[in-house]
Structure formats: structure tokens, C-alpha cells
Amino acid sequence: MEEQVAICFTHVKKTYKLYKSAKKRFLGLIFGERIPYKKYKALDDVSFTINKGEAVGLVGRNGAGKSTLLKLITGVTFAEEGEITVNGQVAALLELESGFDPQMSGRENIYLKGYILGLTPEAIEAVEDDVVEFADIGDFIDQPVGKYSSGMRARLGFAINVEIRPEILVIDEALAVGDAAFSEKCRNKVRSLIDSGVTVLFVSHAKDQMMEFCDRALFMDKGKILADGPAEEIARQYDAFVEQEKKREREERERRKREGTPERKRRKASF
């Protein structure tokens, strides 16, 4: 049973401390709680389990906590409460181009990124040809990455992340990479990875894509998981939720207009 679990969150809480200025933040690190700050609950008591080989979608509005959740899974940030278990090598298609050096060639960057991800030289050598082939950017592979178009950079980044044979793949809106042909290639790749038993966590606003890959989905809002179930069911719930929110916002705006109250107390920009 234990080996079945790929990702497990139990009662995970993550708050960001929002200070008024950099100075306050600095003092806050020294003097702790005595310096006032606003708490922002990015994740509020989140629990869920994803088994190996599952493809799970993650939906929610901006600021719902999706990115924080992904960052915790990839091990970039840390939660202050709760327990997180992640079994297997995670590849994150969060920021495809992070870790690239613009002066180095595409090929050198494959190695650089590989080392950053903790791979050995031999392991990178073994996948180098696959990455080059998948990225399919021709002679540009030996040119500095700084000379690439944004599409080419994304292609190379995507290729590296999927070819290092991850056990858990985290995708954040990354399938809109490059032109239609490449996008199709990426989708096929992800599908074949899912078929080969890779666990996939998929964040997207594109409902169709989510339903194409995932059989299960999580619906988040305000740092909580509101629903967990079959992808189609969740997609329907999310749609309804978005419609309702839109309506509520519209009414709110109209009410404000009628009553003539100012929209919000503003802080002046400092420049």
C-alpha cells in the first residue's frame, strides 16, 4: 500500500507573511512576531492523496493556492504545518526556462540544467540525444540560448523536463508551448508518459485539456480544496462556481455604484 502513494498531503498549512516594507520584513526576521505583518493563508489545512500512475487535474482561480501547492510538491518551498510525502523524482514544468544560462549553447544548457536537477554526467549523456531530437530546433542547439526565440527556449525547456524520465510530472499551463505542431507533440508526449505509469499533476485553465488527460481533479479556492472527484464532475462544478463569482462581482460593482462608496482605500504608489 505504501508504495502505491505518489503524493500525500496531510493537514498542510502555508502562510506567507506580508510586511509593509522590506525594512519591516528584515526587522521581522530578527524580532519575530513583535513586528506587525499581514498573514496570507496560501494553503489552509489541505489534505489529499495521489496514487502512483494517476493523472490529476488542479483547477481554481488565480490566487487559489495552486502554485503554492505545486511548489510544495516540488520541494521548492516548505510548509509550516502538516506533513508532505512525495515518492519519486519530480519534474516540474513550472518555469521551463529557469536555470538556463543565456550565454551557453542549448546543448551546454541541457547539461547545466541536468546538473542543477541533480543528475550525473552519465545520466544526462544518456538522454542528450532524446532531448535534442524532441526539442527539434535544428542547428540552433549549438547556439547560445540568449539568441533563441521564446518558442525555441520553451521547446528546449520542455524537452529537458520530459526526457529526464520523471516519476512525477507537474505541469503548469505549459502545454501551450510553441506552435500548433509542437503543442500537439507535447500533448502526445504527456499522454505516452501517463500511459507508461508516470504520475501527472496538471494545472490548467483550459478545461478541455484537463479533461483530455485527467480522470480525477481537485478544485481549490482560497487555500482550501473544495472538491475532489472525477474530472468532468469537477469541471462542471468549477464552471458553475466561476459563473456565480462573476455574477456576485457584477452585483457588488453595481451596489457600489449605487451607494457611491469608494471602491477601496488606496495606497499611493511610491513613484
Partner 1 sequence: MKEIIKEHAGFLKQIWKLSKSELIITYKGAALGPAWAILNPAITIFVYWFAFALGLRTNSDVRGATFFQFLMVGMIPWFFIKASIMNGADCYLKKSAFITKMPFPVSTIPTFVLLADLYVNLALTLIMYILLLIMGVPPSIYNIQILYYVPLMYFCQLFFTWITAMLSAVSKDFYSAVKAFITAFFWMSGIVFDPYSMADPILRNIVLASPISYICNGFRNTFLYQTWFFETPYETLIFFAWLIVLAFLGSRFYKKLRRTLPDILA
Nearer to partner 1, 51 or 74 (CB): 74
Helix axes 106-116, 150-163, angle to 10 degrees: 50
CA distance 92 to 100: 15
Nearer to partner 1, 18 or 240 (CB): 18
**Residues 99-158 contacting partner 1, CB under 8 A:** 99, 101, 103-104, 108, 111-112, 115-121
> 75: phi > 0 → left, psi -120 to 50 → alpha, else beta; which?
left
Q: Is 12:46 a contact under the CB 8 Å cutoff?
A: yes
CA 242 to chain centre: 21
Cell of 203: 494545472
Least distance from partner 1 to the Cβ atom of residue 108, Å: 7
Helix (H) or strand (E) holding 82: strand 81-86
Q: How far is CA 268 from CA 2, 39, 199, 214, 256, in A?
A: 54, 22, 46, 45, 22
How are beta strands 81-86 and 55-60 bridged, if at all?
unpaired
Nearer to partner 1, 69 or 217 (CB): 69
- What x-and-dash track marks residues 9-28 binding partner 1 by CB under 8 A? -------xx----x--xx--
Site size with partner 1, rule: CB under 8 A:
31
Please tell me whether residue 181 binds partner 1 under the rule CB under 8 A: no
Least distance from partner 1 to the Cβ atom of residue 99, Å: 6
Nearer to partner 1, 98 or 188 (CB): 98
- What x-and-dash track marks residues 66-95 binding partner 1 by CB under 8 A? -----x--xxxxx-----------x-x-xx
- Applying CB under 8 A, the residues found at the interface with partner 1 are 16-17, 22, 25-26, 29, 71, 74-78, 90, 92, 94-95, 98-99, 101, 103-104, 108, 111-112, 115-121
